[in-house]
């Protein structure tokens, strides 16, 4: 029988009410069209922020979902672009081209792109507090393009929560 012991102090937990119990939660759904270029990180924090502002979101959750199997999403550091380059290099080492993949009909970069997408994320859930993404100081939301050529990627945004005003 295993016993789990927690080391250190218990974490401080802060909570607050984001809407009155008699106020229903609402949702809004939108889409972003993102132009990508070969094996890169594309910061989509600005367009997500703009959409949150446009719909009048207040407090809730936003789900960010990419509708592709050879691109993915991540939240990563936005202060030093070497982080992004190092992550791309690491993903290339984890899923190199020419590794003898069976699936090759769409080109030599396609199957490694599927592996990289499986190792990262196709959806993210981010808290929205007082109309803004609750990201850390050095965090940004990125589309990671895993293919060697440019693409147009579709990202679906679903916000659920309270609104400063009801969405149009």
List Cβ neighbours of 60 (8 Å cut-off, separation of 6 or more). 18, 25, 127, 128, 159, 160, 161, 162
Instruction: Name the phi and psi angles at 138, rounded to 5.
Output: -105, 20
Higher pLDDT, 24 or 10: 24
E-strand ranges in the chain read 26-36, 40-43, 57-66, 71-77, 123-129, 132-133, 139-145, 151-163
**Domain 41-163: homologous superfamily in CATH:** YjbQ-like (2.60.120.460)
Distance, CA of 118 to CA of 92 (rounded, Å): 13
Instruction: Please check the confidence at residue 96 and state whether its pLDDT lies above 50.
Output: yes
**135 CB burial (10 A radius; 0-12, 13-18, 19+):** middle
Instruction: Please check the confidence at residue 149 and state whether its pLDDT lies above 80.
Output: yes
Percent of the chain with pLDDT over 90: 72
- No. of H helices and E strands in the chain? 3, 8
HSE-CB for 144 with a 13 A CA cutoff: 29
Question: Is residue 25 very low, low, confident or very high in pLDDT (cuts 50, 70, 90)?
Answer: confident
Q: Domain map of the chain by residue range? A: 41-163
161 near 57, Cβ under 8 Å? yes
157 near 45, Cβ under 8 Å? no
- Residues 53-84 have pLDDT tens digits of 999 999 999 999 999 999 999 999 999 999 99
Residue 89 φ/ψ region, left for φ over 0, alpha for ψ in the -120 to 50 degree band, beta for the rest: alpha
Return mean pLDDT, the chain: 87
Give the mean pLDDT of 123-134: 97
């Amino acid at each position: 029988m295993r016993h789990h012991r927690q080391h250190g102090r218990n974490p401080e937990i802060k909570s607050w009410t984001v809407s009155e119990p008699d106020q229903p939660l609402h949702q809004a759904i939108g889409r972003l069209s993102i132009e990508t270029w070969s094996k890169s990180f594309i910061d989509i924090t600005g367009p997500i922020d703009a959409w949150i502002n446009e719909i009048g979101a207040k407090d809730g959750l936003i789900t960010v979902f990419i509708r592709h199997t050879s691109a993915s999403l991540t939240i990563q550091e936005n202060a030093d672009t070497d982080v992004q380059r190092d992550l791309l290099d690491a993903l290339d080492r984890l899923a190199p081209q020419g590794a003898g993949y069976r699936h090759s009909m769409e080109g030599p970069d396609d199957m490694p792109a599927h592996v990289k997408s499986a190792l990262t994320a196709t959806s993210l859930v981010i808290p929205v507090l007082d109309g803004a993404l609750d990201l850390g100081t050095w965090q940004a939301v990125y589309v990671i393009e895993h293919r060697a050529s440019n693409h147009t990627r579709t990202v679906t945004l679903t916000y659920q929560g309270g609104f400063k005003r009801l969405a149009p």
